[in-house]
Amino acid sequence: METPPTLKFFSLDPPFPMDETILIIHGAFSSHAAFLHIGRLLAAKGYHVLLPDLPAHGSGTSGTIQPFRFSTSVSLLADLINQHAHNGKAYIVGFSLGGYLALNLAADHPDLVTRLYCSGAGRDWNWSPAKAHLASVVMCGMSKAPSFLGTWFNNKHKIVEPSELIEDGALWKDGRTLGLHHDVIGELVEFSSGDVLDRIKCPVLMVSASAHDPVDGQKVTCERLRNGGCEEVKGVELKGWPHAWNGRDPELFANSVIAWLVGKSLPKEFVDNC
């Protein structure tokens, strides 16, 4: 009998026993390594943290789970929570692609999710096949661009890539294929045409970093969540911040996650927008 696939993941334990788990879902064409530092900050505050690699991503076993599909990803993330989260449920933090998966996870497995924190997941991907294909080609081409362009972009936006992410990225750089880009964008297009946002009931925080994230799209997402029956929805904006703001201020990211999870006011950098 064939062994079922499992996600590669890292588990970070707090310095003292805690019953609460935070699952962090990274963005597209990245890996768990993008959030290792933030995971350590959260663990130091007393949370058990799970950091998986998504299917078709990363240098470990997750990269062999092909092709990338939302259904497979959500099922494997649910398995991870069932098997490794304390008390069998978790707070979910999703970044970019991970934010859409977090929303899908909450819709399909409401018993596993306590609260959602989604950053950069408010875009409407209801694109035509031609636009989706063009975006896949452009994004794939950008991923193959000379490294000095990435350095210039990061310096411009004060983004620091963790050394672990650079090392892990080098190990699976050949995995960022045009096929993977097609798969990811195709799944996002399908997400936008589905009913996921109409089925979420747990509290949701939506964060947009307005230098790159579509603020108006996030407002539409918040409205759909409320219309679907989600009673606690909050949308906030980081004015002028880049999409990958987790690399600009990891401490702010971690502090805002904790504030949302425990029901406290968010740091002053966050402005309500929906």
Classify residue 116 by its DSSP letter: E
The string of pLDDT tens digits covering residues 130-154 is 999 999 999 888 877 767 677 777 7
Classify residue 207 by its DSSP letter: E
Are the C-beta atoms of 98 and 26 separated by less than 8 Å? yes
What is the four-CA torsion angle of 245, 44, 88, 201, rounded to 10 degrees? Answer: -40
- Model-level pTM? 0.94
**Cα 6 from Cα 9, distance rounded (Å):** 9
**Cα 18 from Cα 38, distance rounded (Å):** 18
Token pair recorded at residue 103:
């929303």
Which residue in 190, 191, 188, 198 sits closest to 233, CA to CA? 198
Which domains are assigned to the chain?
Answer: 9-272 (3.40.50.1820)
Predicted confidence (pLDDT) at residue 2 exceeds the cutoff of 70: no
**Cα 98 from Cα 265, distance rounded (Å):** 24
The string of pLDDT tens digits covering residues 45-67 is 999 999 999 999 988 889 999 99
**Cα 193 from Cα 195, distance rounded (Å):** 7
Token match 């892990």: residue? Answer: 168
The string of pLDDT tens digits covering residues 72-128 is 999 999 999 999 999 999 999 999 999 999 999 999 999 999 999 999 999 999 999
Token pair recorded at residue 200:
């979420």
For the chain, percent of residues with pLDDT exceeding 90: 77
Phi and psi, residue 62, nearest 5°: -60, -35
Token pair recorded at residue 202:
């747990």
Token pair recorded at residue 252:
């702010």
Are the C-beta atoms of 23 and 109 separated by less than 8 Å? no
Which helix (H) or strand (E) element contains residue 264? none
Token pair recorded at residue 162:
């963790």
The string of pLDDT tens digits covering residues 158-172 is 777 777 777 777 767
